[in-house]
Structure 1
Amino acid sequence: MALAYDDTNIFARILRGEIPCDKVAENDHALAFRDIRPQAPVHVLVIPKGAYVSFDDFAANASNAEILGFTRLCAQVCMSEGVDLAGGNQGFRAVANTGHHGVQEVPHYHLHIMGGRVMGPMLSRQG
Structure 2
Amino acid sequence: MSYDSSNIFARILRGEIPAHRVYEDETALVMMDIFPQSRGHTLVIPKAPSRNLLDADPAALSAVMPLVQRIANALKAATGADGIRLAQFNEAPAGQTVFHLHFHLIPVYEGMALAPHAGGKADDAELAELAKAIAAAL
Query: In which range does the TM-score fall when normalised by the shorter chain?
Result: 0.7 to 0.9
Give the gaps of 5 or more residues in structure 2.
115-138
Structure 1 residue aligned with 2:75: 81
Question: Is 1:112 aligned to 2:104, yes or no?
Answer: yes
| Pairs within 5 Å for 1:30-69 | 30-58=28-56, 62-64=57-59, 66-69=60-63
Task: Please report how far the alpha carbon of residue 117 of structure 1 lies from its aligned counterpart in structure 2 after TM superposition.
Answer: 1.1
| 8 Å CA contact retained: 1:95, 1:111 | yes
**Which consecutive residues of structure 1, in runs of 5 or more, have no partner in the other structure?**
122-127
Give deviations 1:65-112, integer Å, cap 9, x for gaps. x223311211121122126xxxx9632111111112112110101111
**Over aligned residue pairs, what C-alpha RMSD do you find?**
2.3
SS of residue in 2 equivalent to 1:78:
helix
- 1-structure distance, mates of 2:68, 2:27: 11
| 1:18-45 CA-partner distances (Å, limit 9, x unpaired) | 0111111222111110000111112001
| Aligned equivalent of 2:18, options 10, 20, 43 | 20
Q: Count residues in correspondence.
A: 112
Contact 2:19 2:31 in 1 (8 A): yes
Partner of 2:126: none
Q: Which has the larger helix fraction?
A: 2
